[in-house]
């Protein structure tokens, strides 16, 4: 069986995730909420909440792209090792946000890529079960370690006995392996399913069921507040990002599946391809470099220069639009050199093509 071609939907959705990431972060780092509280509207608040989809999309798409790369025989372990190193580099460059032992999304993606050659050896029909196992381990870890209802940046950077950094990496960090690996495994499973017509048709229905289940758990938590606020039931009925709970993971995972399924159908029908193949794809192809630049520039340097949180909401949105437009223009020029010297290029440089993955990994 031939290896699957790279999905254009991956780059398009990654570009969308990059926009959501920048608008959420800069919306927090640029806006003076105290001085402009009266100017904040539901639009600004909803845009900020929508930005919460960025990280889940990145993790989901990392799973899909890793599956594609594995089937093509591309070396993932050393790419993951480089990504992990970039995670620690970002922590060192941004001490106002992270500590040297923080476990951010780059650390998660690095470990995922290192594990992917092993995990993707299993038949693809087992990938959803592996995702459920990862999700279950995350919820169990929150219960066992008695993780609070809400954890802030200080909590996610602090070392606590026993196990210290391992607690952050496994359960209590910004993006711990459990339950967040579930989204990467889901992404790999979905890309595999889109290559098989019988399974492809069920994706939308399964995603809708996931959304209904997430809403049902959230409503139940509202009707039974003790279930949503006390352990051991809290991770199952509370909707929370930090730490990621079951309703949250079900909802964002289902939204990722629906978005990917819809774009795959658009490209298969060859409708709207000219729009999607332009600036969104370029943003997606440079999203790692964009992540580094906007965090170090606007979080760290602006903070040290006393320029953070000085703008009103409207001016902040204009600034975000200008920054993204400028990045898009530069990325179009940068594309001619294959994004040379960017972080994406750094992950690929020096790679040698590995032997093609065994065909049993494609078994449905």
Q: What is the pLDDT of residues 89-137, one digit of tens each?
A: 999 999 999 999 999 999 999 999 999 999 999 999 999 999 999 999 9
d(CA 87, CA 107): 5
> What is the sign, positive or negative, of the torsion defined by CA atoms of 191, 194, 198, 199?
positive
pLDDT at residue 202 in the model: 85
Domain ranges of the chain: 8-193+200-351
Tokens of 89: 């580099």
Inform me whether the pLDDT recorded for 6 exceeds 80: no
pLDDT band, residue 198 (cuts 50/70/90): low
- The string of DSSP codes covering 23-40 is HHHHHHHHB-TTTTGGG-
Q: How many CB atoms lie within 10 A of CB 236?
A: 16
pLDDT at residue 338 in the model: 87
pLDDT at residue 247 in the model: 97
pLDDT at residue 1 in the model: 35
pLDDT at residue 348 in the model: 87
d(CA 182, CA 57): 12
Average pLDDT, the chain: 89
Inform me whether the pLDDT recorded for 273 exceeds 70: no
d(CA 363, CA 358): 10
The residue to which tokens 């069986």 are assigned:
1
d(CA 168, CA 101): 8
Q: Which residues contact 229 (CB under 8 A, 6 or more apart)?
A: 149, 238
Any bridge partners for residue 311, and if so which?
A: 31
Q: What is the pLDDT of residues 232-249, one digit of tens each?
A: 999 999 999 999 999 999
| E strand or H helix at 208 | helix 203-223
Inform me whether the pLDDT recorded for 360 exceeds 50: no
% the chain with pLDDT above 90: 72
8-12, 155-159, 351-355: which has the minimum mean pLDDT? 351-355
% the chain with pLDDT above 70: 91
State mean pLDDT over 31-57: 85
Tokens of 101: 């032992």
pLDDT at residue 34 in the model: 83
State mean pLDDT over 315-338: 93
pLDDT band, residue 279 (cuts 50/70/90): confident
Inform me whether the pLDDT recorded for 162 exceeds 90: no
Q: How many CB atoms lie within 10 A of CB 215?
A: 14
pLDDT at residue 275 in the model: 52
For 129, the 3-state DSSP assignment is: helix
């Amino acid at each position: 069986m031939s290896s699957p071609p790279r999905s254009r939907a991956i780059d398009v959705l990654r570009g969308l995730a990059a926009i959501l990431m920048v608008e959420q972060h800069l919306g927090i780092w640029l806006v003076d909420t105290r001085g402009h509280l009266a100017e904040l509207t539901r639009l600004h608040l909803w845009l900020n909440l929508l930005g919460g989809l960025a990280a889940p999309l990145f993790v989901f798409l990392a799973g899909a792209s890793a599956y594609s790369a594995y089937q093509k025989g591309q070396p993932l372990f050393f790419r993951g090792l480089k990504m992990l190193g970039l995670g620690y580099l970002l922590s060192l460059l941004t001490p106002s946000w992270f500590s040297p032992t923080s476990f951010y999304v780059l650390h998660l993606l690095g470990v995922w890529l290192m594990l992917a050659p092993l995990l993707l050896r299993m038949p693809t029909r087992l990938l959803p079960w592996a995702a459920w196992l990862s999700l279950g381990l995350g919820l169990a870890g929150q219960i066992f370690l008695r993780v609070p209802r809400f954890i802030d940046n200080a909590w996610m950077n602090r070392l606590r006995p026993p196990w210290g950094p391992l607690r952050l990496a496994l359960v209590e960090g910004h993006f711990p392996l459990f339950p967040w690996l579930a989204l990467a495994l889901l992404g790999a499973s979905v890309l595999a399913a889109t290559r098989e017509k019988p399974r492809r048709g069920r994706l939308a229905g399964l995603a809708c069921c996931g959304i209904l289940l997430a809403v049902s758990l959230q409503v139940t938590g509202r009707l039974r507040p003790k279930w949503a606020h006390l352990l051991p039931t809290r991770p199952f009925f509370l909707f929370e990002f930090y730490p990621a709970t079951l309703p949250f993971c079900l909802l964002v995972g289902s939204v990722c599946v629906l978005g990917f399924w819809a774009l795959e159908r658009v490209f298969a029908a060859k409708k709207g391809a000219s729009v999607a193949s332009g600036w969104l794809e370029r943003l997606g192809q440079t999203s790692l470099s964009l992540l580094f630049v906007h965090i170090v520039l606007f979080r760290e340097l602006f903070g040290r220069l006393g320029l953070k949180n000085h703008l009103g909401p409207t001016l902040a949105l204009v600034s975000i639009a200008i920054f993204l437009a400028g990045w898009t223009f530069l990325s179009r020029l940068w594309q001619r050199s294959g994004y040379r010297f960017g972080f994406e290029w750094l992950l690929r440089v020096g790679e040698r093509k590995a032997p093609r993955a065994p065909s049993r990994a494609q078994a449905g």
